[in-house]
Structures are given as C-alpha cells and as structure tokens.
Structure 1
C-alpha cells in the first residue's frame, strides 16, 4: 500500500506493487499471511481519501521487534503482528516519552518463536 500504484490485482482495483509491465510483482515475507502484492480496495480508498497512511518495514527488522516485545512486555506476537510492532516502535521513538501509541496484535507467536530465536542467535554470533 505504501509503494503500490493504482491497478487491478486479483480482480479488484487497489494499489498493488507491480512490475514495470503492470503485473502484480513477486513479494516475500517471513510471515505466512503477508506475501501478497496488494490489499483490499477499502484500503486503497481510505488512502486516497487521506484517512490512513501506510509505511513499510523490512523482514530483517521484524524479528528484532518481536524479540523486543517478548523481552520487555512478555508478549509473544505472531510475526504478522511483528511488522506492526516494528513500525510502532519507530513511531514511539519519534513521539518521545509523552507520546501514546496503540498497536493491535493478533495471532499466536509460539509458532514463530523458534524462527525468531534462530535469527536472534545468528545475529549475536552464537
């Protein structure tokens, strides 16, 4: 949504990430439900109206946010929510200690814990 351009993706008009020829671009995600080049038309409509903004985060940032939430709050989010947590942490730093940020978490992270632990160990050189 943040970098897509107007077009049709899977039968609806939205803002998919597209190839130079206009086809939906291949995308990847470490979270099983997020490897998709576009989102529903209601999101594109809300963005066009200026009611929402979208941002991007990388697959490399998400395990760090997942681990931070686990270690600081004892919460174990699904990796899909980890993307939102990644951006929430960024916004919280921008707002400072007087700011208020709310993030919605969904899913269970126990299915992703081994993957995240492996990434964290790898980055620590273990």
Structure 2
C-alpha cells in the first residue's frame, strides 16, 4: 500500500501564490476603476450644483458669452463678503442658447409651447430646458 505524502510540493505552493496574486491584482484594478467613477460622479454633481447659479431669469441674453457667477447673481443679490465674491468670480461658464423650438398642436384649440434650450459649457457641459406654455 502506498503512503500519502504529508506536505505540499514547492510547485503546488508557487501555483497557489500565483493564482492568489492574479486575483488580488484584478480586485485592485476593479477598485481603482470604481474610485475613478465615484470621483467623476461627485465632480459632475458639484458642477451641476454650480450650474444652478447661472440659471437666472435673464440667462437667455448671454448667448455665446462667458460669464462668471458673480456677474450673473449681482443684479439679484448684494454680496458684501469678499471671500464669497472671489469664489463666485472663479466659477464661470460659456453660454450657448440655440433658437427656441415652437410646439403647436394640430388643432387650433390645443395648447402650444415654446422650448428654450440653455447649454452651459465648461469642464462638464450641461443642457437645461425651459418650457413655456403660450396658448391653453
């Protein structure tokens, strides 16, 4: 009768170490990709929040202009704090406002609307829409 061996051979140990190292490298690669995606999403959310500073009532007159947040907010708010003023001056966007789209109903008695698109361009570009019902 043949005796069973008591320990692993060197080859078995090396193969198991290689398999474990490949799996660890793969897990680290996935972790770094997830981290990059989380950073991208958090930056997008930060810029979307900053975009709300630029969506004032008179935003449609800024076609093909670059404005900072202080210039847009100055007619509406009195900003005395110098630090806040500097922060707002450092946040800027390029405006692009295409022609409005008129939606009319097939029948004369239906509602019609005007859709206005507002594109804010920076590191992460965004598009916003304004809907105005003209006839109801």
Q: Tell me the TM-score normalised to structure 1 length.
A: 0.28
Structure with a larger share of its residues in strand: 2
Q: Which has the higher contact order (CA 8 A, sep 6+)?
A: 1
Structure with a larger share of its residues in helix: 2
